Chain A
Amino acid sequence: MCHQTVSLVARHLEANGIPTVMIGSALDIVEHCGTPRFVFSDFPLGNPCGHPWNPDMQTRTVEIALRLLESATAPRATVRSPFAWKPDPGWRERYNRVRPEDRERLLALGESRRAAKDVARRKGAT
C-alpha cells in the first residue's frame, strides 16, 4: 500500500500547488494511480533510495529525483534509476509468491485473519 498512499498524497499536494517527486520500486502501482514525477528504482520493495549502507548511491538517487523535479514539464514523468539490485537473480519472483506447497498454509492464514477481524468487529459493535 505504500506506493499507492504516497501516490495519492503526491496528487493532493500537486493539486494544491506543491510540486512533488517520488522515489519507489513498484512501477505498476504508481503508473496505475497516475503521478506527476517518479524515479523508479528497480529493487526489491524496501530500499527505494539505494542499497543499504551505500551513501553515494543514495545521494545520487536523490539527486536524480531533484533533477527530475526541476526538468519535468508535464505529469507522468518517469525516470528509471541507473542502479541495479545486488547479484541475487531470484529477487523478482520472491515477493508474495504463491507456490503450490504454500496454498494450504496461506488459506489457513487467511481464515485466521478473517476470524480475528470478525472478533474485532463484534467487540466494536457492543
Chain B
Amino acid sequence: MTDAADGAPVPYMERTRNYYRALGYEKDYVWAHFEAVPFAPLPKPLAELNIALIATAGPPDESSRDARGRRRVWSCDVDAAPARFDTDLAWDKESTHTDDRETFLPIDAMRRLVARGVVGALARRFHRAPTGYSHAQTIDQDAPELLRRLREDKADAALLTAL
C-alpha cells in the first residue's frame, strides 16, 4: 500500500520531501505554516462584487522576468489574455496538460457567471503571482504588489487558482 492509494487526498508535502531527499538534498523544505488565519467579510452582496483573478501561470514569453530570470508579478487585461501560458511549474505533467487555460484561469467561466447575474463583474485585469521557495519574497514583495494592483482596479474580492 502506498500513500493515497485508498483514494485519500495526495500528501504533496510528504511526496515533495521524499523526492528532494532522493535528489540528494540534505535539508527538508520548510512549508509555510500559520495558526492564525485572517478573514475579511464581504463588503457587499456577491451579485455586486467586482472580482479579480489571480493565477500562477504567466505570459508565454520572457517579458515578465527580471534580469536574473526570476518571474515577477504580471498583469494583463482580461480581454487580451493569451490562449497559451508559461506553465513551466510543478504540476502533474504525466496525468494531464494545461492546453486549456480555463482549467487554471477561468476568465470565460467568470464571464458566464457575470452574465447570469451570480457575480457583479470581472475586474479589468488578471494577475500572475510568481511562485518560488522564498516565503519572504511572496509575503514582503509580491503579495503587497498584487494588493496594490487590485486596489488600482477597484477589485472588491479575489479568486485565486493554483496550478
Q: Which residues of A are interface residues toward B (Cβ below 8 A)?
A: 1-30, 32-36, 40, 42-53, 55, 58-59, 61-63, 65-67, 69-70, 72, 74-76, 88, 91-98, 102-103, 106-107, 109-111, 113-114
Contacts and interface: CB of A to CB of B under 8 A. Distances in A.
Contacts of A98: 18-19, 22
Nearest to B13: A28
Contacts, number: 281
Contact of B131 (A5, A72, A92, A113): A5
Contacts of B76: none
A65 B158 CA distance: 11
Interface in B1-16: 2-5, 7, 9-16
Interface of B: 2-5, 7, 9-16, 18-20, 22-25, 31-43, 45-46, 49, 51, 54, 56, 87, 89-100, 102-106, 108-110, 112-113, 118-119, 129-133, 135, 138-139, 142-144, 146-147, 150, 155-163
15 contacts: A4-B131, A5-B162, A11-B143, A14-B38, A19-B156, A43-B96, A46-B93, A47-B103, A53-B100, A58-B106, A93-B4, A94-B95, A95-B10, A98-B18, A110-B25
- A-B pairs, 3 with minimum CB distance: A110-B23, A12-B143, A44-B92
Q: Which of B2, B33, B40, B133 has the most CB of A within 10 A?
A: B40
Q: Is the interface of B mostly helix, strand, loop or mixed?
A: loop
A42 B9 contact: yes
